[in-house]
A and B are shown apart, each in its own frame.
Chain A
Amino acid sequence: ETGVTQTPRHLVMGMTNKKSLKCEQHLGHNAMYWYKQSAKKPLELMFVYNFKEQTENNSVPSRFSPECPNSSHLFLHLHTLQPEDSALYLCASSQVGLSGNTIYFGEGSWLTVV
């Protein structure tokens, strides 16, 4: 059990569907992240939010749309995805300003695009 909860754990969606991944952190942190992990590439940072403000977008296609309504919740809205977007999507959080700014991850959401 971690302090970062992701739902759903598994999602299968068609290329024309719209779905969302949800993340909630219970650690009192002020920064949240989305990472993508696929078999062929190392961990890729997608988005960073500090105090609800997006501070980094790592050239992510617009079919991925993040939303951070408050410091505890983060969403990743998905639409018109491609099969190559199938991957494990990891949410994470950290406390900016603390020594080292250690990032803590959720269990991930396995996404399959068919």
Chain B
Amino acid sequence: AQSVAQPEDQVNVAEGNPLTVKCTYSVSGNPYLFWYVQYPNRGLQFLLKYITGDNLVKGSYGFEAEFNKSQTSFHLKKPSALVSDSALYFCAVRDMIRAAGNKLTFGGGTRVLVKP
């Protein structure tokens, strides 16, 4: 079985400050990890993914995420948040083993509010 936990329902940050959105996961084998963002009244947009290789992954809009195998975490980060980053962020995981098929398991989402 695979699962994802996003421990914070909401993160508040001042514009220009660093932003971190936390994610931990559980899989049987090695994980594929993803971050998506959802702006109001929109679908989910793909931000970045970890497949293999460097633990630090860079994605769209200046976001990056760090894969930490020992802590089973994949936290999303941005050095300097913008008001326009206010949105709902989802972490997702897929087990690399073939039996997992296409199933992508999502966390419950973290709402980010960036204040001017």
Contact = CB atoms under 8 A, between A and B. Distances in A.
Given A42-B108, A42-B109, A43-B90, A102 B46 contact: yes
Contacts of A99: 51
A12 interface: no
Contacts of B109: 42-43
Nearest to B88: A37
Interface residues of A, number: 27
Interface string B27-53: 000001010100001111110010100
Given A99-B51, A100-B32, A105 B101 contact: no
Contacts, number: 58
A94 interface: yes
A103 B43 contact: no
A56 to B, nearest CB: 7
Interface in A62-103: 90, 92, 94, 96, 99-103
Interface of A: 2, 4, 6, 31, 33, 42-43, 45, 48, 50, 55-56, 90, 92, 94, 96, 99-108, 110
